Structure 1
Amino acid sequence: MSSSSRSNKKAKKGRQQGGFYEAPTHASQILSLSADGRRLRVLNELLREQVVRPEEQHDPEAGAVPGAGDGAPDTLNLPPVGAEAVDGAEGMAVVAKTRAKRYPASDEPLRAWIPYREQYLDEVLRLEGRAWARTTSQCPRCGKAAPSYRCAECTGGDIFCQECVVQIHAHLPLHRIQRWDGTFFNNVTLRDLGLFVRPAHLDGSSCLTCRPGLEGLTPITIIHANGLHVVNLQFCSCVEEERRTLFLRLSWWPATATDPRTCATFFVLKQFHLLNLQGKLTIYDFYKSLELATDNTGLQKIPVSAMTLMVRQWRHVMLAKRAGRGHDSGGIESTTQGGLALKCRACPRPGVNLPADWENARAEDAWLYQLMISQDANFRLKNRLRTGSHEDPWLGPGLAYCVDDVPYGEYVMSLATQEDIRTCSGFAALLNALTRSSKGLRATGLIAVSCRHELFLGKGVGDLQKGERWANIDYLVASAVKGTGVRKIMDSYDVGCEHEKGFFERAVEFPDHIKLDLPKDGWVFVVPKFHVSAHKPECQGAFSPNYVPFSARFDGEHVERLWSMLNPAAPSTKEMGPGARKETLDDLCSFNNWRKTVNLGEQLLKLLVEAIPEAANHKKDFEAFDSKLCRQRPEEVQRWMEMVRVWEQDRRNSPSPFTIVHKAVTRAEVRLRLLAEENHLSANSTASDLEAGPSGFIVLGLEILAAQRNLALQRKEADDSDSALLRIKVQKRLAILLGKVRKFRQLGATYMPAVHASSTSATPPKALTALDVESFAVTLPSDLPSEQREQVCGEKLPRIEDELQYADACDALEDLRHSLRMRTCYNQDKIANVTGQVPNTKARSLQSSVDQAVKNAADRYRRARQAIEHLRGPGAWQDVLRPLLNTDLRQGQASLTRPVSDELAEGLIAYADEHALMETAIAATFEAKWAVVQEKAYAYLNNVPPAGGQDAQAQSQRIEIVQVEIEVASEVENSSDDEGR
């Protein structure tokens, strides 16, 4: 028997009337246009849902639902696994899709759990009583009658007598004990039951120096993860250790070093430590939860001050432990500055992970041993001016990541009056550095230095006293890289273009403990990729990591990503004292470095797997591009390569070949130069005289023309919307425009008296009103015939208008390019992300505004170019300011054309027509095939047997993916009527 016959017989199990399954289908259609714009690709998909009848619902704990795909009988009304592909028309692919296994218990765990929630509730309430032990009348350990004590911490729920429960918990004094009072369990303590602990005799041996019985017991408060405990301790003179030593050997951390009466277990300190590092849980919320764990009423209070001190001590000791200070003979006292910081294992470290002769490496290999760092300021990590360093001392000043405040503060104060010079107007990271609000603050923010693998550098974190100043940045960067031993550093900073200027001059004045031992040519400054676009064009080409040699995929933004780990702790550290804040920041930085170190191998491997094929692809593409460019323009390539070589050898003094030079002038630049010339000609002129000068007259005329056009658009908008507010705005603009027109008429009588006289000689000039300004004719030199222009205007006015109109044309072109790019982005965003009527309406409104901006910029350019053509006539300027066609405004829709011969054109047309005819035949076959499906669907919906009795079940079991190519120009339009029918 063939596989097709077996499939058909198997499929008859779920057959319905008309040969169709009782399962809804979903169709999806994907349209795409071919590269030549002549063919439309239609991708149709029929997707069928997998249906499970109620009577066939599988038990959620039984695992996968049986059916096709796992070898079980096909009890569900679904397509069989063995369905074969059916031959279709040419260009048609038919695919049979198997159904996947379903696991309700894992796919919908909460829905699967709902039937069992009553059982869960019953079992929880059962444990509130004695449960299975209610039938026990004797202690299971000693046999005494009427046992009534159980431990809430131990597993099993056994009920013991008082003596046994005390003996069982001789080494578990921090467990919670409950006593059965006849109707419910009541909480009691092991101390009340007579338990005491001898720290010097944990093995249970007797001691001759201890008092007998319960005499000489000392109550000690113990803070544990399950709440607060009071434990009786009996000390003896058998050992000479101090009490703090005995407590530490019990894994209890004493709150004080002398005669401690409060301790916290190592477990609870470690638990809070992890919760604080990972979840930024505050000590207040943690001890509040411990109070509720002790007694849900919260009446028993935790010694807060003691808990805070123990947490700070624990942090400090754990930091020293991880740094290996316990294995050093000098201990913590001999720790050097930054010695507790966890160092990056992937960054170059001489004597650790570099070859012995790394300093003698070739120039092309030296980049392998460069250190890549980045620094940034964070103004969220403030600190209020509360207690001082005497009341809140710092346990490890400068030993980890935060620098010692004493030398750092002295250096910053010595440069408090230094003025930071800034010349990059494109980015304002340091602008108004002294205007940061610092009232009531000890620190207005934090500066951190990190390596490219996102680890904080030791001695690279410090406070900002008042804004982001060079003194703070210089000290922390020099402190972080001091002692690294590398010979080359790539430094990324938001304003690296400014930081480079004067850095090495300022470095000469650094204190001895941060003096740089790095050559000047070994320090490369860059600007992070995300920030560089906000800088001036000169900075973008010279400082972008995309162009700096040996920067690889270094983006320079890694320190920005570290703030996401520190920022959640900002509310708590803001209120801390100076010592507690620095210890917390050190701890958080160390936690970040440890997590990055653990994941470093996996992360680097992931990047390597991605980089190897990408590097090969980029190399192949570049070589192909470079070889073709060298063949077509060899001289230009050689000239450009020489520019790159010179720039890479001396980046500080050579122009960057990656900087785009904009030669176009702006109206503001022309206006400034003209005003300077007029001011030079008249040394005693005032501001009002300059506004009334020749350039002021031309500028005023151009402003009136622009205002008239804008006013016409606003009036049309007001009339269409019938809004009173818009009409008020129109009237206000009319009043402003009226003043400009009156002033223009006054200046016109001075600079163009012939035109003014000819227009007013017959009748005296009437007073202008707001109704006249919209139609007021502005006459400029470009509006006059060339034979009259020199007589009416002289030589100065035409030259001034020519320069201003040329600048306006250049400005209009820049605005047009910007608007076209915006329109492309808006269109792409709307297609990819916008769905729904309201979002589409908003998106269309944005598109309309951009379309209007494109039109306005194009009109401005055309008017300015027409004026220049009247003033200059034909000339070389027409090669720069070319005629603007409507086809030039279709950004992203332009097509590349190439000249072809008549013979080639005939061949192209013949090939296209031939394939159009073939694709039309494929479409007809496609329509005939689906006509059968349509007939069977009609038969099924109307309970009519299908014609010919053909088995339609096999067809309905298939998921068909049909791909058809249709001639757009001739077939889509012709078939629209057929599709409608």
Structure 2
Amino acid sequence: MKDWLPMAGVVLDELLRRDGRGDYRPFEQCLSCRDPDVARPATIRCTTCDAGPLECEECVRERHQRHACHRLQRWNGKFFEVTSLKEVGLVVQLGHADGSICANPVPAPADFCVIDTNGHHSMALNYCGCDKAGDAGTHYEQLLRRDYFPSTLTEPHTVYTTRLLEHYHVQSLQGKISMYDYYASLERLTDNTGTKKLQDRYKSFMRVVAQWRFLKRLKRAGRAHDPTGIPGTQAGELAVECPACPHPDINLPPNWEDVSDDLQYLYVMCVAIDACFRLKRRQVSSEEKDPILGSGWGYFVEDTGYQTLLKGYGEQDEVSTCTGFAAMTQANMKYSKGYAASGVGAVICARHEFFLANGVGDTQVGEKWINMDYIFVCAMLRHLRVRKLVSYDIACQWSKGLLERVAKFPSHLQIPLPTGSLKYVIPKLHWGAHERKNHSQYSLNYVPGSARNDGEGIERRWWWVQPVANSTKTMGPGRRQGCLEDQWGYANWRKIVDFAEFMRRRYMIARQEAAAKEKEFQEFTKSFNKENVAQWEKDVKEWEADMKKPDPYHVASTGPSQAQIKKDIAREEQAKAALPGHVAVHKISALGFITMGLELEESQAKLQEEVAKNEESKPVQTLEQRTAFRHRVQKFRELQAVYTPQVVVLLAQDPAARLEVLQVESILLGLPSQISTRHRSTACSPDILAIETRLRDAQCRDALHELRTQLHIQDRLYKLKKLHIRNQGPNTRMQTEIKGQDSRVRHAAAKYRRARRAKLALMGPGPWELEFQALNDNDIRGVQDDDPDELAARQRGRKKPGPSEGHRQVSWIWKSADVQGAGYSDSVRVEWVKFRARVQRWMEERRLLPEEMRRILAWLIYEENRWLSRIGQRDDVDDALQEGLTAYAHKQANIRRNMRGTCRQIWYKLMQESGLEMGEEWREVPGYIPRKVRRRVNNKIIIEEEVEEGESEEVVEGEDGLVLDGLEGEDMDEYRRLVELDQAGLQET
């Protein structure tokens, strides 16, 4: 840019030169006229053609017979003004492919308009009405054969070029451009001055786009080749399927059902379920005015049967009982008022993020189970033979009673779901917001066969499609479904296109990580007693075989809570009171005395916060709070005189304990833990010290549990706000709730710190510190969050993000043991089994990816043969249409052949190095020409050549690309970072 800036003036002058006749000023006469002696004045310029001399009207008209949508300008002696081909006399004749003159032309309406990528065009157009009309077809067919898509069936006044429809189609899919904005840009291209009145064709544009989307989906699904035609389309047939998922009789080996138990995960289908409340639809239009084209033929479930079933269900009373979840508990709230659909629920392929056929349905009031049950069943109708790993953020609740609920469905939805064919899991980031007890069976980190699947792919798909949410919200039912079906079909197809490099990157990471983790695990295991390791492995394998057995990943909380400690002490004091000669020194027991002190400590902390916030703004309220607190401390002093009289003497000598001060919230209370070590043993009885010690121990445990719970809730509130909260009012309320939650987190942390300081004062340093560590600010973070200091260091250095679940170091608050002796050992055992699980998941990923690559190749072979088999299926067509059908089938087959060749070229060496058996899917692709690639030498791309067999490790994406194999050190770290970002769907900030 710095080099270009001095030239900006030159470029600007050349742009202005174009507003005149430029170098063509000397040519007053048309140079295109055949006879130079009678050449006509040159006044017309075509701005769509390349720059050249001006021409006369006759020459422009003759040269643009096949370019009727070009834009013209006329030189009026002073400047160029807009004109059109219609004004220079061009008349477009349809029905005569040989260019002959029609003996009986039938003119189109006078206001006939063609809309192309460069705007509106008024056009004089004639249909064929002579003796060739039979071959030319109806007026509708004549327009289509000229690549003009009519807006209506009879006497259209507006047509759209197929070039325009293709252009908008891609723009809407890739750029998420709305129809309104695109159509408005066409009007601006036609006239951006407001001086010309254009007829509004927006409604017809919306209608034609909906028809075009539907026709493209039918065409790509091969419906034009099928003798049954469009009416013969089956449920889900227009959906683009995932080639990497297991499809019996298509891409699975013949013996796939008979493999050993340790390899069954290779043929398990992983699906993810979720709802998105951004994709709403307002209560506008109706199916009578805007019918659904091909209901149930693509990704949405068949609408009529779906709505009929929903009418039989009332309000939902099943809600999630796990910590922090809001979607289900708000299912019957009124935020859906005014909407025909409050969102959509969907089922996708969890490993490859493909939307499944008949795996999408509208939700009406929140995330009801009946909606999700129905959508899940419809999606699984096409995948009954394979086992399924089902990921859902509330799987622990939703899975309960699923089979019983499905058993009540209509007979055609009574699918076999035998026990053991479904395994339920929770996405990795969502799992942290659930309870720990009995939830390891839902963790993708621990469930055998889940490999490195994170289950969060459906969230990334929602993020990808949400730019169209605003435009689809105001559409009718038919156009909205058509638009969303189109978006998901495009998303699925782009996944197939990107599979070659995507699967390669995944396999490279899996291969390196599996080897590294396996080596680290072996070294880690050597530090333990072999008998212990054998017992740990035996326990975890028994749990993997039967997850009803004790959870090896959970450290059972054997430490008593504060309430339990109080009960135990109360029983002990009652037993002492029943002994002969016992005399009660006060109506409040020693337990009551220490409990009152701990409660005062909590009130003091709360009062300090309130005073700091309200002392200036609310002096009366502050006075009342201080007075009430002073009165409570005076009562406590009376009890101190009974149970710890020497402490009262010490407090009388300490200015920090005086009550006659304004800031009473800062005084020293005089609990035994607050007395100096040299005076404590003489000033406090052993019973009093023991009671506070036991209560402080339980207080630390309770405060940690409360802190973890509040962090769970905080995490869910942030996610709820990000995904579902819109508009100023709800955002303000949610911000207030989040602010309050931040305060609760701080209170729990402060409570733990006070309890730990007191425990440290009473007991001194010891093994108990392994369980109750010092709580730093960086330790107060969610289970999925990385250490802030380490993250900042990475960002200052190489700008690397935090590690994923397989690498992350969680805060100690999530790993602390609950018992000092056995608990510490138990914590080590848990760390060992977690390490083992990480190794197992990486090894599964390393083995599963080659199988998925093989399946992709087999699926491409199947699709190629399927397209070739469609040739000649119809015998009711003329030769021209038969040629078109045959050409399209060959084109699609060739696309699959080239895709297979590209995948094989990129994966072949990796598969050779893996040592796995390579079947017929890996044979050379006949007729495939290896693609040319750029190579990196000394960090510079210097040559371009064909890749020989097994040389794909040097393929790069572009000048800034990374070498995709053979990476070491920092290069591999950087590449791993990019792949993790890709898998997580994140963007670097």
TM-score with structure 1 length normalisation?
0.65
TM-fit CA distance, 1:882: 9.2
Q: Judge conservation of contact 2:144–2:150 (CA < 8 Å) in 1.
A: yes
- Between 1:410-419 and 1:342-351, the stretch displaced more is 410-419
Q: Structure 1 residues 807 and 608 mapped into 2: Cα distance closer, same or farther (>3 Å)?
A: same
2:323 aligns with one of 425, 428, 431: 425
CA deviations 1:212-269 (Å, max 9, x no partner) are xxx8886521111111112222221431321111110000001111222211100111
- SS of match in other structure, 1:602: helix
CA deviations 1:650-705 (Å, max 9, x no partner) are 22x223211121222332555689999999xxxxxxxxxxx999866542222224
Answer with 1 or 2: which has the greater Rg. Answer: 1
Per the alignment, residue 258 of structure 2 pairs with: 360
2:437 aligns with one of 532, 535, 538: 538
Per the alignment, residue 75 of structure 2 pairs with: 180
Q: Structure 1 residues 289 and 770 mapped into 2: Cα distance closer, same or farther (>3 Å)?
A: same
Q: Judge conservation of contact 1:447–1:463 (CA < 8 Å) in 2.
A: yes
Per the alignment, residue 438 of structure 1 pairs with: 336
Per the alignment, residue 539 of structure 2 pairs with: 643
Say if 2:490 is the partner of 1:595: no
The code of the aligned residue for 2:76 comes to D
Per the alignment, residue 485 of structure 2 pairs with: 586
Q: Judge conservation of contact 1:291–1:301 (CA < 8 Å) in 2.
A: no
1:861 aligns with one of 756, 759, 769: 756
Per the alignment, residue 204 of structure 1 pairs with: 99
Q: Judge conservation of contact 1:813–1:861 (CA < 8 Å) in 2.
A: no
Q: Structure 1 residues 175 and 774 mapped into 2: Cα distance closer, same or farther (>3 Å)?
A: closer
1:314 aligns with one of 194, 209, 212: 212
Q: Judge conservation of contact 2:61–2:89 (CA < 8 Å) in 1.
A: yes
Calculate the aligned-residue CA RMSD, in Å.
4.5
CA deviations 1:178-227 (Å, max 9, x no partner) are 2222222222222222221221124221333348xxx8886521111111
Q: Structure 1 residues 306 and 758 mapped into 2: Cα distance closer, same or farther (>3 Å)?
A: closer
Q: Judge conservation of contact 1:426–1:535 (CA < 8 Å) in 2.
A: yes
TM-fit CA distance, 1:129: 2.0
Per the alignment, residue 468 of structure 1 pairs with: 367
**Whole-angstrom distance in 1 between the partners of 2:396 and 2:186:** 53
Q: Structure 1 residues 115 and 359 mapped into 2: Cα distance closer, same or farther (>3 Å)?
A: same
Residue correspondence of structure 1 range 228-627 to structure 2 within 5 A:
228-235=120-127, 236-238=129-131, 239-240=133-134, 241-298=137-194, 299=196, 300-435=198-333, 437-451=335-349, 452-538=351-437, 540-626=439-525
Per the alignment, residue 872 of structure 1 pairs with: none
1:223 aligns with one of 105, 115, 119: 115
CA deviations 1:367-398 (Å, max 9, x no partner) are 11110111112121111111121121111211
Q: Structure 1 residues 266 and 372 mapped into 2: Cα distance closer, same or farther (>3 Å)?
A: same
TM-fit CA distance, 1:810: 3.7
The code of the aligned residue for 2:539 comes to M
- SS of match in other structure, 2:482: helix
- SS of match in other structure, 2:447: coil
2:559 aligns with one of 651, 655, 664: 664
**Whole-angstrom distance in 2 between the partners of 1:555 and 1:710:** 41
**Whole-angstrom distance in 1 between the partners of 2:53 and 2:511:** 63
**Whole-angstrom distance in 1 between the partners of 2:673 and 2:15:** 95
Q: Judge conservation of contact 1:374–1:493 (CA < 8 Å) in 2.
A: yes
Residue correspondence of structure 1 range 781-930 to structure 2 within 5 A:
804-811=695-702, 857=752, 860-861=755-756, 863-864=758-759
CA deviations 1:114-170 (Å, max 9, x no partner) are 222222222222222222332124322233232322222222323222222211112
Q: Judge conservation of contact 1:341–1:399 (CA < 8 Å) in 2.
A: yes
Q: Judge conservation of contact 2:377–2:413 (CA < 8 Å) in 1.
A: yes
Say if 2:22 is the partner of 1:123: no
Say if 2:3 is the partner of 1:112: yes
Per the alignment, residue 162 of structure 1 pairs with: 57
**Whole-angstrom distance in 2 between the partners of 1:207 and 1:884:** 95
- SS of match in other structure, 1:550: coil
CA deviations 1:593-614 (Å, max 9, x no partner) are 1111100111001111222122
Q: Structure 1 residues 467 and 742 mapped into 2: Cα distance closer, same or farther (>3 Å)?
A: farther
CA deviations 1:444-493 (Å, max 9, x no partner) are 12222211111111111111111112112211122112212442111111
Q: Judge conservation of contact 2:315–2:332 (CA < 8 Å) in 1.
A: no
User: What percent identity do the matched residue pairs reach?
Assistant: 34
**Whole-angstrom distance in 1 between the partners of 2:246 and 2:3:** 54
Q: Judge conservation of contact 1:290–1:302 (CA < 8 Å) in 2.
A: no
Paired residues, what number?
714
Q: Structure 1 residues 539 and 559 mapped into 2: Cα distance closer, same or farther (>3 Å)?
A: farther
Q: Structure 1 residues 321 and 616 mapped into 2: Cα distance closer, same or farther (>3 Å)?
A: same
The code of the aligned residue for 1:434 comes to N
Q: Structure 1 residues 478 and 714 mapped into 2: Cα distance closer, same or farther (>3 Å)?
A: closer
Name the structure, 1 or 2, with higher relative contact order (CA <8 Å, separation 6+).
1
The code of the aligned residue for 1:309 comes to R
CA deviations 1:52-80 (Å, max 9, x no partner) are xxxxxxxxxxxxxxxxxxxxxxxxxxxxx
Q: Judge conservation of contact 1:349–1:485 (CA < 8 Å) in 2.
A: no
Q: Judge conservation of contact 2:615–2:622 (CA < 8 Å) in 1.
A: no
Per the alignment, residue 740 of structure 1 pairs with: 632
Q: Structure 1 residues 807 and 271 mapped into 2: Cα distance closer, same or farther (>3 Å)?
A: same
- SS of match in other structure, 2:311: helix
Per the alignment, residue 81 of structure 1 pairs with: none
TM-fit CA distance, 1:414: 2.3
The code of the aligned residue for 2:282 comes to R
- Between 1:418-427 and 1:486-495, the stretch displaced more is 418-427
**Whole-angstrom distance in 2 between the partners of 1:188 and 1:169:** 14
CA deviations 1:555-584 (Å, max 9, x no partner) are 111111111211111111111111111111
Q: Judge conservation of contact 1:805–1:867 (CA < 8 Å) in 2.
A: no
Q: Structure 1 residues 254 and 671 mapped into 2: Cα distance closer, same or farther (>3 Å)?
A: farther
Gaps of 5+ in 1: 1-109, 680-690, 760-766, 820-848, 870-876, 894-981
Q: Structure 1 residues 304 and 668 mapped into 2: Cα distance closer, same or farther (>3 Å)?
A: farther
Q: Judge conservation of contact 1:374–1:559 (CA < 8 Å) in 2.
A: yes
- SS of match in other structure, 1:556: coil
Q: Structure 1 residues 800 and 421 mapped into 2: Cα distance closer, same or farther (>3 Å)?
A: farther
TM-score with structure 2 length normalisation?
0.65
- SS of match in other structure, 1:414: coil
Per the alignment, residue 883 of structure 2 pairs with: none
